[in-house]
Each structure stands twice: as structure tokens, then as C-alpha cells.
Amino acid sequence: MTTLMKKNLSIALLVLVIGLPLSLLAQNRAVNRCSYVPPRHADNWFFFQNAGLRFTDASGTILNNLPNNNLPIGKGTSAYSDEDGNLLLYTDGIRVWNKNHEMINFGPNLAGDLGSTQSSLIVQNPVSKQMLYVFTTDIQYPAAFGTTKGFNYSRVDLTLGNGAGAVTTDRDINLLPKSAEMISGVKTADGSGYWVVTHGLGNNNFYAYKVDNSGVNTTPVVSSSGTSLSDDYSSREGLGAMKISPKGDRIAYASFGKGIVEVFSFNSANGTVSNPLMINPATTSPNQGPYYVEFSPDGTKLYVTVVNLSTGRENILYQYDLSNSADAVVLNDSPLNADPSALQLGRDGKIYVTRYQREEMGVIENPNRPGTYCNYKESQINLGGKRGQNGLPTFIQSFFDIPPFDYDTKCDGDETLFTIHNTANIDNATWDFGDAGNTTPGTGLNPVHVFSAPGTYNVTLTESFGGQTFTSTSQVVINQLPPKSFIPDSLYIFPGSIIPLDAGADMFDYRWQDGSNNRFYDVANPGLYVAEYTDINCCTNSDSLLVIALDISLPNAFSPNGDGLNDYFKAMGPSDGIQDYTLVIYNRWGQLVWETTNFSDSWDGNFKGEKAPTGIYAWYMTFNVIGNVSSIGKVKYKGSVTLLR
């Protein structure tokens, strides 16, 4: 027999890697680029008097007091850290310090004031990360002491000073001639920039300034809504804090002199403010007034401190349930002390509370829960010899838009792990995964669930504490695995050919059996070829293709005498690797005696219905090999066969 040469065609047998035991998958689960990472731009807090906190993943909230006397006395501050939580800047509204605690506003002080409730807010350029903007608010002065400097911003360039940073000549650029001591910021709805909002004086205007890759747009979006705040110094109506909810859908401020808190709808798509709701916090003294405000992470609760600015010792901490007619609950009734002051949400989902001239800070541990179930604990943090005053840093509030729970490994067939972000005051936790195909409930702080199919699920967490239950629901998206890249399980290859393999378009990562990481792979030899690929959602699939050398042979003689042995002449080999096939046979006079385009056909030794005579016959065979690319084009073979009678 004449043996035709084998053609090595690249075969792709793609095998899904989802059959691993769940326990093994759980052991190998690792944080990847699709894992949730909370924003860390508000990880470093510095506030008066020289106190500081740092938020960490490993150790929780730790003391991080200043190593110097940069913040001896005042009210408002702001700080900004990079995406890894490393300090970049902090300010008190008149001075700016870098990560090394070096003052970098060379020249005169900025136009803020140490006595301003929210003296400043630091905002980073969303594209040019080394460029930051320090917004400042000034106080109102008695007529004899001059005129307020209003609402301004200055630009900081961290590339200046050999990397130490410096306030640039774009300094104290005036945006409003006068404003309340209020400032808050939030991401735009499309995530391309930020809104920085303040309130006017002598009107009921909100001014929203957009910060994007071009810098600060000095033309604000102006919304007239709610109550007008007087610009008369003696009214003290411009005293108080402002906060936007972490989700960017509400905004609230407190006016000490007006004695009111107002809550509005905020549109983070266009910066407009509307739908005012007035709240009149109860006071027990004519020297009191609402001063600080803060939203719960889910935006359903508003916390307000009513303060006595003279003594700091007749303060009242309120919770208002905005989902229930703004019902009010006092959180610091006796025997708790009457000294809660500034309020600021942290990325751990808790609200931190300074206590006037105390070494202890309070913490509202579960601010989404109603009433006293929010668990205000007044002596939760000791400041290590430092004393809190009337302020905490102001941040972009979107940095605290953190879901109640997170989940990791988000692909079809994965064992999905859930994690509660704020685990304070939970006796039991139960989970409804909203999965009709797998109704097994979850329990505990870190349950695991295998969803029955890709899709979007409404997962409900129920926390139990002290005989009460508290629920929260979030959407969970389980992604499809990327599709198979190779259609057949195997292919044949012919010597001299290559089989070009494609592991699929638009994958984030590729890995072949030899460690190469390109999308395409050219196969030149028989063997098993494996491609592992990961898509943009971190879902990984693996396909394999068996490439077999093509082995086709034809007999050199046959005897069509009906004895069942060698009665036919035909090509022998795998027909599934062949296409565009032809086989023709000629006698010694050049006459065509038989032809076929079907690889399975055979010649029975007859010509025009008669037995062909004994002798030697010439044959010619051509074909293509599926999936092969060859420089010679179609495969061509010729030979002879002896017909015996």
C-alpha cells in the first residue's frame, strides 16, 4: 500500500473549566481586577486639634494623629488620598500640606477661614491625577472687620517642587463674592467628573460647579429652591454644614441662625436642586441651633446635631427617617452626654461624631437602621491625648457610596462569596439569593451560593440584632462565560501546512499551553493545544483542540473477483478532515475509466458496465484539509494501481 503523508491540522477541543469541586474553587478564590474595592480617597482624616484617623482593610479604623502642630485650632478641614489610600493633601482652608506634612501654599494664606464650618473641599482632576483643586469658604464679618472673601478655589500641582507639590498661581479664583459656610461634593451621574455645591447668601440659591478633565467650570448651575439665607452677619444664617447623600440623589443643609434643616432632591446628571423639605429640630435653649448634618449610606436617614456654639455642652443628636415622614429620634438622651458635634460618614459605613473638647469620639455604628437601633456609642474611639473640636474633614460624598454587602467570583458556575461590609451589631444574618433555580438560603456573614444561571438577581440580606431584623437588598449580576473558541473537537494537519487558531475576540487576557499570551496561535505540528481566556468580566473559559497528523493511503493493487478480499480500490483515512476531494483513474490509453468527488466512494474494477482488463491504471487525487493553510494550495497526489483478475 502507498501511504499518503499525514496532514497535521490544528484541532481545537475547548474544554470548560467549571467542573472543579466547589471546595477547591473556594480555596483558590482570589481577589482580581473585578473584585469590589471600596474608594480609598477618604482613608486619611486630619482634624482639630491635631487628631487623625486612618481607615484600613486589615485593621479597621486606627488612630493616625498628626506628628506636628499643623491643626491646633479651628473647625473645618479637608483631606485627599490616592486610590490606594496614600495621603496626598490636607488643608484647613487657609494652608495646604502635602503627604509629608509640609506646607505647600507658599505666599499668602488661601481665602478660607479657620472659623468656617466647612472651610474647604479638595477635588482631584478626574484625568490629570496630579492636579487637585482646593475649594474654600470664608466666614461673614461684622461691618467693622471688612468684607468676606466668598467662595474660591486654588489649584495644586503635585509635580511641582520636585514632587512635593505646590499651590500654583491659579490661587483664590473667586467663584462667588459671598456664600454660606457650606460645601459638599459628589460624582456626576456619568462618573466623568464632580459637582461642588455651596449655598448663596441673600437668596435661596444653590450653586453647583462642575469639575472635569478640563478643570473647574466657573459658570455654575444655579437652582433657586427652599428658604433664603440672610447675608446679615448677626443673623448667623450662613453658619452650618451641607452634605450630599452618597448616592448623589439628595442634598441637605443646616442653618444655625435660621433654626432649620432643609432636605432637597439633587440631580447628579445636571447639578440641579429641587423639592425642598423643611425640618425644624427641637431645641431646649435660645443659644442652640442645627449645625452639622450627615446622611446614612443608603440615604434614608439624616443625622443632625443641634449645638450650643457658646458651650458645646447642650448639644442634641437627632436621626430623621426620611423614608418615614422624617420621624425624629434623639440619640443622646441621658445618661449619654450632651456634647456630640461634627458628623462624617466613613467608608466602613459608620458615622463618626466628634465630642466638643473630648478625647473620645462617638460612632453611629449602623446608620441605616431606624431610631436607637442605629447604635450610637459615644466613647468608641480614644484620640490618644488629642481633643476633638467642632469639625471633621469634608470629602466627596460619593466615596462613601458603599453597598451593604459585596460579592466576588461573578461568573456562571462559580461559587459566589458574599461579604457584609459593616458587621457591627449582628447576631444572625440570613440571605435570600432570589434564585428560583437554587432556592437554598444562606446564613452567616460570608455565605457562598452557586447561582443556577447567568442573570441579574435581587439578593436580600436580613440582619438580626437584639430581637429586631433589618433588611437590605442589592442587585447581583452573574455573567456568562466567554463562548467556545474552537468549533470542532479535533482537526487534521498536513505536513507543511499550519492551522491558525483564534481564542476569541475582545478578551482581556489569553494564555496558551506554552505560556504565550496572544489571541492567535499558529499550529504546525500534531498535539493537544489549549487556550485559556478571560473576558472583561473576569470570567475564564478554557478550550482544547486535538491536532492529528492526516494519514491517507491508497492500495497499489486490488482484485475485484468477489472473494471479499481487496475487491475495491479506494482512499483510506479519515474522511472528516477532507474537503474539495477528487479521485480520477485512467487506463494505459489515457481514457478516464472512473472518477468521484466522494471520499467514501470506491472503484469496483468496471468500465462502462464491463470488467476492465487486468493491468496498471494511473490515478490522480486532489483535496483540501479542513482548517489548514498551505503555501502550495490544494493537495495533489498521483500514483498507479494494478488490477488483478
419, 407, 376, 524: which is closest to 477 by C-alpha?
407
Answer yes or no: is pLDDT of 5 > 90.
no
What radius of gyration do the chain's Cα atoms show?
Answer: 38
DSSP of 262-308, one letter per residue?
EEEEEETTTTEEEEEEEE----SSTTEEEEEEEE-TTSSEEEEEEEE
Q: Is the peptide bond before 49 cis (omega within 30 degrees of 0)?
A: yes
At position 97, the amino acid (one-letter code) is W
179, 178, 159: which is closest to 168 by C-alpha?
159
Phi, psi of 577 (to 5 degrees): -100, 0
**480 DSSP assignment:** P
Q: How far apart are CA 587 and CA 477, in angstroms?
A: 70
Question: Hey, which bits of 102-202 come out as E strands?
Answer: 120-124, 131-137, 151-157, 166-167, 173-176, 184-187, 194-199
Q: How far apart are CA 434 and CA 589, in angstroms?
A: 80
The per-residue pLDDT for 12 is 30
Q: What average pLDDT does this structure show over 416-434?
A: 97
| β-sheet bridge partners, residue 578 | 625
Answer yes or no: is pLDDT of 10 > 90.
no
Q: What average pLDDT does this structure show over 463-471?
A: 97
The per-residue pLDDT for 365 is 98
Q: How far apart are CA 288 and CA 315, in angstroms?
A: 8
How does residue 488 score in pLDDT terms, banded at 50, 70 and 90?
confident
The per-residue pLDDT for 132 is 98
The per-residue pLDDT for 27 is 35
DSSP of 176-219, one letter per residue?
ESS--S--EEEE-TTSSSEEEEEE-SSEEEEEEEEEETTEE-SS
Q: Is the peptide bond before 335 cis (omega within 30 degrees of 0)?
A: yes
The per-residue pLDDT for 632 is 80
- The cell for 314 is 447642650
- Reported as a single tens digit per residue, the pLDDT across 121-131 is 999 999 999 99
How does residue 153 score in pLDDT terms, banded at 50, 70 and 90?
very high
How does residue 15 score in pLDDT terms, banded at 50, 70 and 90?
very low
The per-residue pLDDT for 457 is 98
Q: Are 595 and 607 in contact (CB under 8 A)?
A: no
- Reported as a single tens digit per residue, the pLDDT across 47-101 is 999 999 999 998 999 999 999 999 999 999 999 999 999 999 999 999 999 999 9
- The cell for 487 is 468549533
Q: How far apart are CA 537 and CA 479, in angstroms?
A: 7
Answer yes or no: is pLDDT of 428 > 80.
yes
Q: Are 456 and 513 in contact (CB under 8 A)?
A: no
370, 625, 364, 315: which is closest to 493 by C-alpha?
625
Pairing of strands 250-255, 242-244: antiparallel
How does residue 321 score in pLDDT terms, banded at 50, 70 and 90?
very high
SS3 144: helix
The per-residue pLDDT for 24 is 33
Q: Are 512 and 528 in contact (CB under 8 A)?
A: no
How does residue 11 score in pLDDT terms, banded at 50, 70 and 90?
very low
DSSP of 368-428, one letter per residue?
TS-GGGG-EEEEEEE-TT----S--EE-BGGGG---SEEEE--BTT--EEEEES--TT-SE
SS3 174: strand
Count other C-beta atoms under 10 Å from residue 45's C-beta: 23
- Cα 530 to chain centroid, rounded: 31
Q: How far apart are CA 95 and CA 103, in angstroms?
A: 7
- Reported as a single tens digit per residue, the pLDDT across 19-42 is 233 333 333 445 788 999 999 999
Answer yes or no: is pLDDT of 500 > 50.
yes
How does residue 3 score in pLDDT terms, banded at 50, 70 and 90?
very low
At position 192, the amino acid (one-letter code) is S
- Reported as a single tens digit per residue, the pLDDT across 284-309 is 998 999 999 999 999 999 999 999 98
- Reported as a single tens digit per residue, the pLDDT across 216-241 is 999 999 999 999 999 999 999 999 99
The residues, ordered by sequence, that sit 6+ positions from 130 with a Cβ below 8 Å of its Cβ are: 157, 158, 159
The cell 473638647 sits on which residue? 357
Alpha-helical runs (H) found in 432-577: none
- Reported as a single tens digit per residue, the pLDDT across 527-536 is 999 999 999 9
Q: How far apart are CA 78 and CA 565, in angstroms?
A: 95
Q: Are 128 and 122 in contact (CB under 8 A)?
A: no
Answer yes or no: is pLDDT of 109 > 70.
yes
Q: Return the higher-pLDDT residue of 150 and 31.
A: 150
Q: Return the higher-pLDDT residue of 393 and 8.
A: 393
Helix then strand then coil, % of the chain, to nearest 5: 5, 45, 50
Calculate what percentage of the chain has a pLDDT beyond 90: 88
3-state secondary structure 320-352: EECCCCCEEEECCCCCCCCCEEEEEECCCCCEE
Provide the sign of the torsion angle of the four alpha carbons 379, 383, 385, 386, taken in this order.
negative
Query: Domains of the chain by range and CATH?
Result: 25-33+403-478 (2.60.40.10), 44-400 (2.130.10.10), 550-643 (2.60.40)
Q: How far apart are CA 232 and CA 90, in angstroms?
A: 31
38, 53, 61, 48: which is closest to 87 by C-alpha?
53
Answer yes or no: is pLDDT of 390 > 90.
no
Which H/E stretch holds residue 129? none
561, 532, 536, 562: which is closest to 545 by C-alpha?
532
- Reported as a single tens digit per residue, the pLDDT across 78-89 is 999 999 999 999
The cell 445636571 sits on which residue? 270
Calculate what percentage of the chain has a pLDDT beyond 70: 95
Lowest-pLDDT range, 184-188, 310-314, 551-555? 310-314
Exposed / middle / buried, residue 109 (Cβ in 10 Å: 0-12, 13-18, 19+): middle
SS3 156: strand
Q: Are 473 and 418 in contact (CB under 8 A)?
A: no
Q: What average pLDDT does this structure show over 414-427?
A: 96
Q: What is the mean pLDDT of the chain?
A: 93
554, 579, 573: which is closest to 641 by C-alpha?
554
Q: Are 293 and 317 in contact (CB under 8 A)?
A: no
Which H/E stretch holds residue 622? strand 615-625
How many residues are recorded in the chain?
645
Q: How far apart are CA 472 and CA 474, in angstroms?
A: 7
Q: Are 409 and 418 in contact (CB under 8 A)?
A: no
